[in-house]
Amino acid sequence: MKNSPLLQNYISRKKLLLFYCILTSCACFAQKITIPMTAASWEYDSSKIEFVKQNSTDVMKGKNGAYYQAFLKNHQFANGTIEFDVALTGMGFPGINFRMSDDRKNGENFYIRSFGPVTSLVRTTLQYAAIIDGMSIWDLSDEYQAGATIQQTGWNHVKLVVSGNQMKAYVNDMSKPALMVPQLEGRQKSGGISLSGNVIYANLTITPDATEALAPESGYTGIYNDSRYLKNWQVSPPKDFPFGKDLVMQLPSMYGKLTQSELPDSTTQWTPVQAENRGIVNLTRIYGSRPNDQRRMAWVKTTVYSDKAQERTLSFGFSDEVWFFLNGQLLYVDKNYFGTPQQKNDGRCTIENAQIKLSLKEGKNEILIGLANYFYGWGIVARMDRMDGMKVE
């Protein structure tokens, strides 16, 4: 006896539902891996780290409060959930690197700024930053900070959910993320894990591919819809620019002699570069880092066309030093050295660093910027107050 069409339809839907459940069950039953806090599982400096039991829990801690970094052996992490407990025993930047390259110069970094009691409104408590060529670009990553309630004594529980280009970070409150990262900015899609700080770590677990339905595609960033950001630039090769040296420009003289200008000329080579997802022109990604904080300089330029003569306001961020020219005229010179009276926004490159009045002429206008750097990230970000009657090259 044949099944009725209604029964056949019911059976087909049940089979489809069963097939869907099988496909999605992997995420539900992803296996949690417990990482032993014992010496055999880690590569470390034995003069700085000890593995001991604390209240029957295996922990990793610094000897005599030493700062340390320990590298997990034989594990590659791509996507999933990482959880651990951390007890703050000293001032500093305890945190985790993941997706680290084999040479340990590239990866993703999440850390806590541990400098005493904070409230959840202190947005500098948590930080995500990519590591590029051995250099953290925290000072180009102002948007990737957040507040959290941090226990000064006892354990703080951290959970990172990583899926493709995105990350959610939970700290103590597991009901909602403390920090959302819509686009991870490191070069690696998978790699090693390390823990660092002058703190105590325990209960590290990794659950591969457990991503809480977080999409692997990049999420929304605030500038996506904002046409005011200047995103199309050209960049020159970098050159050494030792401390004590200033930019030499052509100057008038009573005796008919002019200094030799160091501004770009017809022989300068230019390479197109796009601002990244947050509007940052990231020279660290292009040129990497230099040892021992060696100072370098490069030029960036872009062209803006105006349908009439008009005055506009440019909001501008930079790291670390800048010489700003419009149509060959020097408009702005400044420094943004972290830890000095001249620093802006705690030494970070943000759109709030400066505002510059631009007197645009009708037609073509060239913005030319000399940018020197020695400390961490190297870049600029620029946004017009509006783009009425304007277009960019």
- What domains lie within the chain, and their CATH numbers? 31-208 (2.60.120.560), 232-392 (2.60.120.260)
Return the structure tokens found at 250: 């052509």
CA distance 112 to 4: 63
Contact call for residues 37 and 60 (beta carbons, < 8 A): yes
Q: What is the radius of gyration, based on Cα positions, of the chain?
A: 26
Q: pLDDT tens digits, residue range 149-200? A: 999 999 999 999 999 999 999 999 999 999 999 999 999 999 999 999 999 9
Contact call for residues 78 and 57 (beta carbons, < 8 A): no
pLDDT at 30: 76
Instruction: Report which DSSP code applies to 307.
Output: S
Q: pLDDT tens digits, residue range 325-384? A: 999 999 999 999 999 999 999 999 999 999 999 999 999 999 999 999 999 999 999 999
Instruction: Specify the range with the lowest mean pLDDT, choosing from 99-103, 210-214, 247-251.
Output: 247-251
Residue type, 152: Q
pLDDT at 22: 41
Instruction: Report helix, strand and coil shares of the chain as percent, to nearest 5.
Output: 10, 40, 45
pLDDT at 218 over 70: yes
Question: How sure is the predictor about 20, in pLDDT bands with cuts at 50, 70 and 90?
Answer: very low
Instruction: Report which DSSP code applies to 345.
Output: G
Neighbour-count burial of 19, counting CB atoms closer than 10 A to its CB (0-12 exposed, 13-18 middle, 19+ buried): exposed
Q: What is the mean pLDDT of residues 103-120?
A: 96
Reduced to 3 states (helix: H, G, I; strand: E, B; else coil), residue 126 is: strand
pLDDT at 390: 95
Return the structure tokens found at 146: 């957040």
pLDDT at 138: 98
pLDDT at 5: 56
Residue 306 contacts by C-beta under 8 Å, 6 or more apart in sequence? 360, 361, 362, 363, 365, 389, 390
Residue 50 contacts by C-beta under 8 Å, 6 or more apart in sequence? 60, 61, 62, 63
Instruction: Report which DSSP code applies to 36.
Output: P
CA distance 340 to 345: 11
What share of the chain has pLDDT > 70, as a percent?
A: 92
Question: Of 100, 104, 127, 95, whose CA–CA distance to 188 is shortest?
Answer: 100
Question: How sure is the predictor about 23, in pLDDT bands with cuts at 50, 70 and 90?
Answer: very low
pLDDT at 3: 56
Reduced to 3 states (helix: H, G, I; strand: E, B; else coil), residue 13 is: helix
CA distance 109 to 100: 9
CA distance 14 to 17: 5
CA distance 30 to 210: 6
Mean pLDDT of the chain: 92
CA distance 163 to 211: 6
Residue 235 contacts by C-beta under 8 Å, 6 or more apart in sequence? 270, 271, 273, 281, 283, 286, 298, 299, 300
Q: pLDDT tens digits, residue range 258-313? A: 677 899 999 999 999 999 999 999 999 999 998 889 999 999 999 999 999 999 99
Question: Of 126, 168, 177, whose CA–CA distance to 150 is shortest?
Answer: 126
